[in-house]
Protein backbone atom coordinates (compact mmCIF):
# COMPACT_ATOMS: atom_id res chain seq x y z
CA UNK A 1 0.00 0.00 0.00
CA UNK A 2 1.38 3.37 -1.03
CA UNK A 3 2.21 5.78 1.73
CA UNK A 4 -0.14 8.74 1.96
CA UNK A 5 1.37 12.11 1.23
CA UNK A 6 0.92 14.81 3.82
CA UNK A 7 1.31 18.56 3.94
CA UNK A 8 1.15 21.18 6.65
CA UNK A 9 -1.22 24.16 6.34
CA UNK A 10 -1.26 27.26 8.56
CA UNK A 11 -4.57 27.85 10.36
CA UNK A 12 -4.04 31.62 10.27
CA UNK A 13 -2.88 32.51 6.75
CA UNK A 14 -3.25 29.26 4.76
CA UNK A 15 0.50 28.89 4.08
CA UNK A 16 1.36 25.37 2.84
CA UNK A 17 4.60 23.60 3.72
CA UNK A 18 5.89 20.07 2.91
CA UNK A 19 7.21 19.71 6.46
CA UNK A 20 6.18 20.88 9.90
CA UNK A 21 7.67 24.07 11.25
CA UNK A 22 7.19 25.69 14.61
CA UNK A 23 6.83 29.16 13.12
CA UNK A 24 4.81 29.90 9.99
CA UNK A 25 6.88 31.77 7.34
CA UNK A 26 3.72 33.39 5.98
CA UNK A 27 2.36 35.15 9.09
CA UNK A 28 5.11 34.52 11.72
CA UNK A 29 2.60 32.78 14.02
CA UNK A 30 3.75 29.94 16.26
CA UNK A 31 2.28 26.41 16.32
CA UNK A 32 -0.32 27.07 13.60
CA UNK A 33 0.74 24.46 11.01
CA UNK A 34 -1.71 21.53 10.91
CA UNK A 35 -1.06 18.24 9.16
CA UNK A 36 -3.38 17.31 6.28
CA UNK A 37 -3.51 14.32 3.95
CA UNK A 38 -2.97 15.22 0.30
CA UNK A 39 -5.80 13.83 -1.82
CA UNK A 40 -6.77 14.00 -5.46
CA UNK A 41 -7.88 17.46 -6.45
CA UNK A 42 -11.70 17.83 -6.56
CA UNK A 43 -13.46 18.26 -9.85
CA UNK A 44 -13.47 21.82 -11.06
CA UNK A 45 -16.75 23.60 -10.43
CA UNK A 46 -18.48 25.66 -13.08
CA UNK A 47 -17.96 29.40 -13.09
CA UNK A 48 -20.23 31.33 -10.74
CA UNK A 49 -20.73 34.04 -13.34
CA UNK A 50 -24.06 33.75 -15.08
CA UNK A 51 -23.80 33.58 -18.85
CA UNK A 52 -20.12 32.53 -18.97
CA UNK A 53 -16.88 34.33 -18.30
CA UNK A 54 -16.49 36.24 -21.54
CA UNK A 55 -15.31 39.82 -20.93
CA UNK A 56 -17.57 42.80 -21.56
CA UNK A 57 -16.93 46.52 -21.91
CA UNK A 58 -17.66 48.63 -18.87
CA UNK A 59 -19.96 50.93 -20.84
CA UNK A 60 -22.04 47.95 -21.99
CA UNK A 61 -22.71 46.56 -18.52
CA UNK A 62 -26.13 47.55 -17.18
CA UNK A 63 -25.95 48.89 -13.64
CA UNK A 64 -28.76 47.87 -11.32
CA UNK A 65 -29.59 48.77 -7.75
CA UNK A 66 -29.51 45.90 -5.30
CA UNK A 67 -32.95 45.22 -3.88
CA UNK A 68 -32.34 44.94 -0.17
CA UNK A 69 -34.56 42.94 2.16
CA UNK A 70 -35.26 43.90 5.76
CA UNK A 71 -34.30 41.40 8.46
CA UNK A 72 -36.81 42.61 11.05
CA UNK A 73 -33.96 43.97 13.22
CA UNK A 74 -33.26 47.62 12.45
CA UNK A 75 -29.88 47.52 14.23
CA UNK A 76 -28.74 44.62 12.03
CA UNK A 77 -30.08 46.35 8.92
CA UNK A 78 -28.03 49.43 9.84
CA UNK A 79 -24.81 47.42 10.10
CA UNK A 80 -25.51 45.58 6.82
CA UNK A 81 -25.96 48.91 5.04
CA UNK A 82 -29.76 48.97 4.83
CA UNK A 83 -30.72 45.30 4.76
CA UNK A 84 -29.77 41.99 3.19
CA UNK A 85 -28.49 41.97 -0.39
CA UNK A 86 -29.64 38.98 -2.51
CA UNK A 87 -26.71 36.76 -3.41
CA UNK A 88 -24.47 38.01 -0.60
CA UNK A 89 -22.41 35.83 1.73
CA UNK A 90 -22.29 37.16 5.32
CA UNK A 91 -19.89 35.85 7.97
CA UNK A 92 -20.91 36.37 11.63
CA UNK A 93 -18.17 35.86 14.22
CA UNK A 94 -17.94 36.18 17.97
CA UNK A 95 -16.99 34.49 21.22
CA UNK A 96 -18.81 31.28 22.20
CA UNK A 97 -22.14 32.05 23.87
CA UNK A 98 -22.12 35.73 22.86
CA UNK A 99 -25.44 35.40 20.97
CA UNK A 100 -24.64 34.59 17.32
CA UNK A 101 -27.18 31.79 17.02
CA UNK A 102 -29.76 33.84 18.92
CA UNK A 103 -29.30 36.75 16.53
CA UNK A 104 -29.73 34.60 13.42
CA UNK A 105 -32.76 32.83 14.88
CA UNK A 106 -34.37 36.23 15.46
CA UNK A 107 -33.61 37.08 11.83
CA UNK A 108 -35.59 33.96 10.89
CA UNK A 109 -38.47 35.27 12.99
CA UNK A 110 -38.30 38.66 11.28
CA UNK A 111 -38.67 36.97 7.89
CA UNK A 112 -41.84 35.11 8.89
CA UNK A 113 -44.04 37.04 6.45
CA UNK A 114 -41.98 36.12 3.38
CA UNK A 115 -43.35 33.66 0.83
CA UNK A 116 -40.03 31.87 0.25
CA UNK A 117 -38.78 29.57 3.05
CA UNK A 118 -35.74 30.04 5.30
CA UNK A 119 -33.40 27.10 5.93
CA UNK A 120 -31.39 26.93 9.17
CA UNK A 121 -28.66 24.24 9.00
CA UNK A 122 -27.12 23.54 12.40
CA UNK A 123 -24.08 21.30 12.63
CA UNK A 124 -23.62 21.81 16.38
CA UNK A 125 -27.14 21.53 17.83
CA UNK A 126 -30.08 19.22 17.29
CA UNK A 127 -33.37 20.48 15.94
CA UNK A 128 -34.94 19.91 19.37
CA UNK A 129 -32.42 22.27 20.98
CA UNK A 130 -33.15 24.97 18.41
CA UNK A 131 -36.88 24.44 18.94
CA UNK A 132 -36.47 24.98 22.70
CA UNK A 133 -34.61 28.24 22.08
CA UNK A 134 -37.21 29.39 19.56
CA UNK A 135 -40.03 28.70 22.05
CA UNK A 136 -38.23 30.70 24.73
CA UNK A 137 -37.76 33.58 22.30
CA UNK A 138 -41.32 33.24 20.99
CA UNK A 139 -40.09 32.80 17.42
CA UNK A 140 -42.31 30.48 15.39
CA UNK A 141 -42.41 31.43 11.70
CA UNK A 142 -44.27 29.03 9.40
CA UNK A 143 -41.61 29.32 6.69
CA UNK A 144 -38.62 28.28 8.84
CA UNK A 145 -37.08 24.85 8.21
CA UNK A 146 -34.47 23.32 10.53
CA UNK A 147 -31.85 20.72 9.65
CA UNK A 148 -29.19 19.13 11.88
CA UNK A 149 -26.60 18.31 9.23
CA UNK A 150 -22.83 18.76 8.94
CA UNK A 151 -22.29 17.33 5.45
CA UNK A 152 -22.30 19.91 2.68
CA UNK A 153 -23.62 17.57 0.00
CA UNK A 154 -26.55 16.49 2.19
CA UNK A 155 -27.27 20.11 3.11
CA UNK A 156 -27.38 21.11 -0.56
CA UNK A 157 -29.93 18.36 -1.21
CA UNK A 158 -32.27 20.16 1.24
CA UNK A 159 -31.40 23.47 -0.40
CA UNK A 160 -32.27 22.21 -3.90
CA UNK A 161 -35.60 20.86 -2.65
CA UNK A 162 -36.70 23.90 -0.59
CA UNK A 163 -35.02 26.69 -2.62
CA UNK A 164 -34.83 29.11 0.37
CA UNK A 165 -34.24 32.81 -0.07
CA UNK A 166 -32.13 32.85 3.14
CA UNK A 167 -29.72 30.07 4.14
CA UNK A 168 -28.01 29.94 7.56
CA UNK A 169 -25.03 27.67 8.30
CA UNK A 170 -24.13 27.29 11.99
CA UNK A 171 -21.17 26.91 11.99
CA UNK A 172 -18.76 26.75 9.04
CA UNK A 173 -15.99 25.11 11.12
CA UNK A 174 -18.13 22.02 11.75
CA UNK A 175 -19.22 21.49 8.13
CA UNK A 176 -17.33 19.14 5.81
CA UNK A 177 -17.49 18.03 2.20
CA UNK A 178 -16.95 14.48 0.94
CA UNK A 179 -14.65 15.81 -1.78
CA UNK A 180 -11.86 16.05 0.80
CA UNK A 181 -10.63 13.55 3.38
CA UNK A 182 -9.44 16.17 5.86
CA UNK A 183 -11.20 16.49 9.20
CA UNK A 184 -13.99 19.06 9.72
CA UNK A 185 -12.58 22.39 10.83
CA UNK A 186 -9.32 21.99 8.92
CA UNK A 187 -8.11 24.72 6.61
CA UNK A 188 -8.99 22.87 3.41
CA UNK A 189 -12.48 21.87 4.62
CA UNK A 190 -13.38 25.39 5.76
CA UNK A 191 -12.09 26.90 2.53
CA UNK A 192 -13.88 24.38 0.30
CA UNK A 193 -17.20 24.62 2.18
CA UNK A 194 -17.13 28.42 1.98
CA UNK A 195 -16.35 28.28 -1.73
CA UNK A 196 -19.37 26.02 -2.31
CA UNK A 197 -21.65 28.41 -0.42
CA UNK A 198 -20.22 31.40 -2.28
CA UNK A 199 -20.88 29.72 -5.63
CA UNK A 200 -24.45 28.86 -4.66
CA UNK A 201 -25.18 32.37 -3.35
CA UNK A 202 -23.99 34.10 -6.52
CA UNK A 203 -25.80 31.69 -8.85
CA UNK A 204 -29.15 31.56 -7.05
CA UNK A 205 -29.34 35.05 -5.50
CA UNK A 206 -29.83 33.52 -2.06
CA UNK A 207 -28.58 35.41 0.99
CA UNK A 208 -26.30 33.11 2.99
CA UNK A 209 -25.29 33.66 6.63
CA UNK A 210 -22.45 31.57 8.04
CA UNK A 211 -21.33 31.51 11.69
CA UNK A 212 -17.61 31.45 12.37
CA UNK A 213 -15.76 30.58 15.55
CA UNK A 214 -13.10 32.94 16.88
CA UNK A 215 -9.63 32.28 18.27
CA UNK A 216 -8.23 33.40 21.62
CA UNK A 217 -6.97 36.54 19.92
CA UNK A 218 -10.55 37.40 18.87
CA UNK A 219 -10.18 36.82 15.10
CA UNK A 220 -12.17 34.42 12.94
CA UNK A 221 -10.77 30.89 13.29
CA UNK A 222 -9.35 29.35 10.13
CA UNK A 223 -7.37 30.90 7.27
CA UNK A 224 -7.60 34.62 6.58
CA UNK A 225 -8.76 33.73 3.08
CA UNK A 226 -12.15 32.96 4.62
CA UNK A 227 -12.70 36.66 5.33
CA UNK A 228 -11.55 37.56 1.81
CA UNK A 229 -14.08 35.19 0.20
CA UNK A 230 -17.22 36.53 1.88
CA UNK A 231 -18.98 39.81 1.10
CA UNK A 232 -19.54 40.96 4.69
CA UNK A 233 -17.81 40.19 7.98
CA UNK A 234 -19.67 40.99 11.20
CA UNK A 235 -18.23 40.70 14.70
CA UNK A 236 -20.49 40.25 17.71
CA UNK A 237 -18.74 41.85 20.69
CA UNK A 238 -19.59 42.02 24.36
CA UNK A 239 -18.73 40.93 27.87
CA UNK A 240 -20.42 37.83 29.25
CA UNK A 241 -20.81 39.66 32.56
CA UNK A 242 -22.80 42.47 30.92
CA UNK A 243 -26.06 42.29 29.03
CA UNK A 244 -25.06 44.64 26.22
CA UNK A 245 -23.79 43.42 22.85
CA UNK A 246 -22.27 45.40 19.96
CA UNK A 247 -22.49 44.20 16.36
CA UNK A 248 -19.73 45.71 14.23
CA UNK A 249 -18.91 45.36 10.52
CA UNK A 250 -15.22 45.02 9.67
CA UNK A 251 -15.85 44.33 5.97
CA UNK A 252 -18.87 45.20 3.85
CA UNK A 253 -18.95 45.26 0.06
CA UNK A 254 -22.46 46.73 0.08
CA UNK A 255 -22.21 49.42 2.76
CA UNK A 256 -20.11 51.21 5.34
CA UNK A 257 -17.82 49.42 7.78
CA UNK A 258 -18.19 52.12 10.45
CA UNK A 259 -21.74 51.36 11.55
CA UNK A 260 -22.54 49.52 14.78
CA UNK A 261 -25.66 47.90 16.17
CA UNK A 262 -26.33 47.75 19.92
CA UNK A 263 -28.39 45.01 21.57
CA UNK A 264 -29.27 43.91 25.08
CA UNK A 265 -29.36 40.20 25.89
CA UNK A 266 -32.59 39.26 27.71
CA UNK A 267 -34.30 36.00 28.62
CA UNK A 268 -36.32 36.28 25.39
CA UNK A 269 -33.41 36.99 23.08
CA UNK A 270 -31.75 40.17 21.89
CA UNK A 271 -33.49 43.50 22.41
CA UNK A 272 -32.51 46.44 20.21
CA UNK A 273 -31.20 49.65 21.79
CA UNK A 274 -32.03 52.55 19.45
CA UNK A 275 -30.35 55.14 21.73
CA UNK A 276 -26.91 53.83 22.78
CA UNK A 277 -25.90 57.19 24.28
CA UNK A 278 -28.45 56.95 27.08
CA UNK A 279 -27.33 53.38 27.76
CA UNK A 280 -23.63 54.22 27.89
CA UNK A 281 -24.18 57.16 30.26
CA UNK A 282 -26.34 55.15 32.67
CA UNK A 283 -24.83 55.12 36.16
CA UNK A 284 -22.52 58.06 35.50
CA UNK A 285 -21.44 59.84 38.69
CA UNK A 286 -22.11 63.57 38.62
CA UNK A 287 -19.17 65.91 39.31
CA UNK A 288 -16.64 63.11 39.81
CA UNK A 289 -12.97 64.00 39.23
CA UNK A 290 -11.44 62.04 36.35
CA UNK A 291 -14.63 61.78 34.26
CA UNK A 292 -15.26 63.37 30.86
CA UNK A 293 -17.99 62.90 28.25
CA UNK A 294 -17.12 62.55 24.57
CA UNK A 295 -19.40 62.40 21.52
CA UNK A 296 -17.94 59.79 19.18
CA UNK A 297 -19.10 59.04 15.63
CA UNK A 298 -19.83 55.38 14.94
CA UNK A 299 -20.52 55.52 11.23
CA UNK A 300 -23.39 57.96 10.77
CA UNK A 301 -24.50 57.67 14.41
CA UNK A 302 -23.24 60.04 17.13
CA UNK A 303 -22.73 58.20 20.41
CA UNK A 304 -22.10 59.87 23.78
CA UNK A 305 -19.92 57.96 26.20
CA UNK A 306 -17.88 58.51 29.35
CA UNK A 307 -14.09 58.40 29.56
CA UNK A 308 -12.73 57.72 33.04
CA UNK A 309 -9.19 58.21 34.32
CA UNK A 310 -7.52 57.36 37.62
CA UNK A 311 -4.17 59.02 38.36
CA UNK A 312 -2.38 57.92 41.52
CA UNK A 313 1.22 58.05 42.81
CA UNK A 314 3.20 55.02 41.72
CA UNK A 315 4.63 52.63 44.27
CA UNK A 316 7.41 51.52 41.91
CA UNK A 317 10.11 53.24 39.92
CA UNK A 318 8.36 52.81 36.58
CA UNK A 319 4.85 54.33 36.39
CA UNK A 320 2.14 52.20 34.79
CA UNK A 321 -0.05 53.18 31.83
CA UNK A 322 -3.15 51.03 31.26
CA UNK A 323 -6.11 51.60 28.93
CA UNK A 324 -9.35 49.65 28.49
CA UNK A 325 -11.43 50.36 25.41
CA UNK A 326 -8.97 53.05 24.26
CA UNK A 327 -5.62 52.99 22.46
CA UNK A 328 -2.77 52.44 24.90
CA UNK A 329 -0.24 54.16 22.61
CA UNK A 330 -2.53 57.20 22.41
CA UNK A 331 -2.61 57.36 26.21
CA UNK A 332 1.20 57.40 26.41
CA UNK A 333 1.39 60.11 23.73
CA UNK A 334 -1.19 62.37 25.39
CA UNK A 335 0.45 61.95 28.80
CA UNK A 336 3.68 63.25 27.25
CA UNK A 337 1.81 66.22 25.73
CA UNK A 338 0.35 67.07 29.16
CA UNK A 339 3.84 66.93 30.69
CA UNK A 340 5.38 69.19 28.06
CA UNK A 341 2.59 71.62 27.13
CA UNK A 342 0.41 71.83 30.25
CA UNK A 343 3.06 71.49 32.96
CA UNK A 344 1.43 68.47 34.67
CA UNK A 345 3.92 66.21 36.46
CA UNK A 346 2.84 62.69 35.53
CA UNK A 347 6.22 60.95 35.60
CA UNK A 348 5.68 59.70 39.16
CA UNK A 349 2.02 58.71 38.72
CA UNK A 350 0.21 55.66 37.40
CA UNK A 351 -2.52 56.36 34.84
CA UNK A 352 -5.48 54.03 34.34
CA UNK A 353 -7.91 54.83 31.53
CA UNK A 354 -11.31 53.28 30.84
CA UNK A 355 -14.10 53.73 28.28
CA UNK A 356 -17.20 53.14 30.41
CA UNK A 357 -19.90 50.89 28.97
CA UNK A 358 -17.62 48.43 27.17
CA UNK A 359 -17.49 50.28 23.84
CA UNK A 360 -14.13 50.54 22.05
CA UNK A 361 -13.23 53.98 20.69
CA UNK A 362 -10.32 54.68 18.37
CA UNK A 363 -11.18 57.96 16.64
CA UNK A 364 -8.96 61.04 17.21
CA UNK A 365 -11.83 63.15 18.60
CA UNK A 366 -11.49 61.36 21.94
CA UNK A 367 -8.10 63.03 22.64
CA UNK A 368 -9.51 66.05 24.49
CA UNK A 369 -11.68 63.81 26.68
CA UNK A 370 -8.63 61.74 27.64
CA UNK A 371 -6.68 64.89 28.53
CA UNK A 372 -9.60 66.31 30.53
CA UNK A 373 -10.09 63.06 32.47
CA UNK A 374 -6.36 62.71 33.31
CA UNK A 375 -6.03 66.36 34.38
CA UNK A 376 -9.23 66.22 36.42
CA UNK A 377 -8.11 63.11 38.28
CA UNK A 378 -4.64 64.53 38.99
CA UNK A 379 -6.01 67.87 40.24
CA UNK A 380 -9.02 66.30 42.00
CA UNK A 381 -11.14 68.81 40.10
CA UNK A 382 -14.35 67.63 38.38
CA UNK A 383 -15.46 68.80 34.96
CA UNK A 384 -18.98 70.31 34.95
CA UNK A 385 -21.42 67.45 34.46
CA UNK A 386 -23.25 69.23 31.62
CA UNK A 387 -20.09 69.67 29.48
CA UNK A 388 -18.99 67.56 26.49
CA UNK A 389 -15.46 67.81 25.06
CA UNK A 390 -14.20 66.63 21.67
CA UNK A 391 -11.12 67.28 19.56
CA UNK A 392 -7.86 65.85 18.26
CA UNK A 393 -4.57 66.82 19.93
CA UNK A 394 -1.25 67.07 18.08
CA UNK A 395 2.26 66.58 19.41
CA UNK A 396 2.88 70.33 19.51
CA UNK A 397 -0.15 70.83 21.76
CA UNK A 398 -2.50 72.18 19.08
CA UNK A 399 -6.16 71.13 18.97
CA UNK A 400 -7.21 70.02 15.49
CA UNK A 401 -10.68 69.95 14.01
CA UNK A 402 -12.89 66.86 13.81
CA UNK A 403 -15.61 65.77 11.40
CA UNK A 404 -19.41 65.79 11.68
CA UNK A 405 -19.52 68.41 14.45
CA UNK A 406 -23.15 69.54 13.74
CA UNK A 407 -24.43 66.00 14.25
CA UNK A 408 -22.37 65.64 17.43
CA UNK A 409 -23.65 68.82 19.10
CA UNK A 410 -27.24 67.98 18.12
CA UNK A 411 -26.88 64.69 19.99
CA UNK A 412 -25.44 66.56 22.99
CA UNK A 413 -28.40 68.95 22.99
CA UNK A 414 -30.87 66.10 22.73
CA UNK A 415 -29.48 64.43 25.85
CA UNK A 416 -29.61 67.62 27.92
CA UNK A 417 -26.02 68.84 27.88
CA UNK A 418 -25.56 72.62 28.06
CA UNK A 419 -21.98 73.17 26.90
CA UNK A 420 -19.60 71.77 24.27
CA UNK A 421 -15.86 72.42 24.01
CA UNK A 422 -14.67 71.83 20.46
CA UNK A 423 -11.71 72.82 18.26
CA UNK A 424 -11.77 76.47 17.18
CA UNK A 425 -11.50 75.44 13.52
CA UNK A 426 -14.96 73.84 13.74
CA UNK A 427 -16.66 77.07 14.85
CA UNK A 428 -16.79 78.49 11.32
CA UNK A 429 -20.39 78.59 10.05
CA UNK A 430 -21.46 76.17 12.77
CA UNK A 431 -25.22 76.15 13.49
CA UNK A 432 -25.54 76.14 17.28
CA UNK A 433 -28.79 74.75 18.72
CA UNK A 434 -30.76 76.89 21.13
CA UNK A 435 -29.86 76.32 24.76
CA UNK A 436 -26.37 75.01 24.01
CA UNK A 437 -23.13 76.96 24.49
CA UNK A 438 -20.17 76.08 22.27
CA UNK A 439 -16.60 77.12 23.08
CA UNK A 440 -13.64 76.77 20.72
CA UNK A 441 -10.03 76.10 21.78
CA UNK A 442 -6.81 76.10 19.75
CA UNK A 443 -4.29 74.54 22.15
CA UNK A 444 -4.07 72.26 25.15
CA UNK A 445 -3.17 75.14 27.47
CA UNK A 446 -6.21 77.12 26.29
CA UNK A 447 -8.36 74.04 26.77
CA UNK A 448 -7.11 73.60 30.36
CA UNK A 449 -7.97 77.24 31.15
CA UNK A 450 -11.45 76.79 29.64
CA UNK A 451 -12.38 73.54 31.39
CA UNK A 452 -10.52 74.13 34.67
CA UNK A 453 -10.74 77.91 35.27
CA UNK A 454 -8.55 79.25 38.03
Which residue(s) pair with 91 in the sheet?
Answer: 210, 233
DSSP three-state, residue 303: strand
Is the pTM of the predicted complex or chain greater than 0.85? no
Specify the CATH class of 279-451 in words. Answer: alpha beta
Architecture of domain 68-274: 3-Layer(aba) Sandwich (3.40)
- C-alpha distances in Å from residue 27, one per residue of 30, 34, 157, 185: 9, 14, 38, 20
Whole-number pLDDT of residue 279: 83
Query: At a CB cut-off of 8 Å and minimum separation 6, what does 395 contact?
Result: 333, 337
Which residue(s) pair with 121 in the sheet?
Answer: 147, 169
Whole-number pLDDT of residue 28: 83
Please tell me the distance from the alpha carbon of residue 201 to that of residue 159, in angstroms, as a whole number: 11
Whole-number pLDDT of residue 11: 72
Q: pLDDT tens digits, residue range 315-355?
A: 878 899 999 989 999 999 999 999 999 989 998 999 999 99
Round the CA-based radius of gyration of the chain to a whole number and report it: 26
Query: What mean pLDDT is predicted for residues 431-440?
Result: 91
Q: How does DSSP classify residue 424?
A: G
Query: What mean pLDDT is predicted for residues 417-440?
Result: 92
Could you tell me the pLDDT band of residue 40, with boundaries at 50, 70 and 90?
Answer: low
CB atoms within 10 A of CB 307: 26
Residue 415 has pLDDT above 50, yes or no: yes
Please tell me the distance from the alpha carbon of residue 383 to that of residue 293, in angstroms, as a whole number: 9
Please tell me the distance from the alpha carbon of residue 182 to that of residue 188, in angstroms, as a whole number: 7
DSSP three-state, residue 191: helix
Which residue(s) pair with 270 in the sheet?
Answer: 265
Whose CA is closest to 311, among 363, 367, 350? 350
Domain spans of the chain, in order of start: 6-37, 68-274, 279-451
The answer to whether the beta carbons of residues 84 and 167 sit under 8 Å apart is: no
Query: What mean pLDDT is predicted for residues 42-60?
Result: 60
Main-chain dihedrals φ then ψ at residue 80, nearest 5 degrees: -75, -15
Which residue(s) pair with 133 in the sheet?
Answer: none
- C-alpha distances in Å from residue 107, one per residue of 38, 113, 171: 39, 12, 16
Amino acid sequence: MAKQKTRYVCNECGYESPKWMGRCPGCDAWNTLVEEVVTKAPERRASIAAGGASPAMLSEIAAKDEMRKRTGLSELDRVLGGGMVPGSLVLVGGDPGIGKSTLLLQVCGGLAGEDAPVLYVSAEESTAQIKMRADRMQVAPDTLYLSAENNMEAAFEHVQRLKPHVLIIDSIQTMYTSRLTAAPGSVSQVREATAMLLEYAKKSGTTVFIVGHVTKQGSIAGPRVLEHMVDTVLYFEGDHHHAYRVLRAVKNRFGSTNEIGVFEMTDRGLSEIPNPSAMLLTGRTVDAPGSAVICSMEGSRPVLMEVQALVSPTAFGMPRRMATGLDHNRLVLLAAVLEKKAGLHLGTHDIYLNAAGGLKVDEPAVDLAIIAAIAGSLRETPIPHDTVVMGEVGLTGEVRGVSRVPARIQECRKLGFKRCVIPADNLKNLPVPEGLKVAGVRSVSEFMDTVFPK
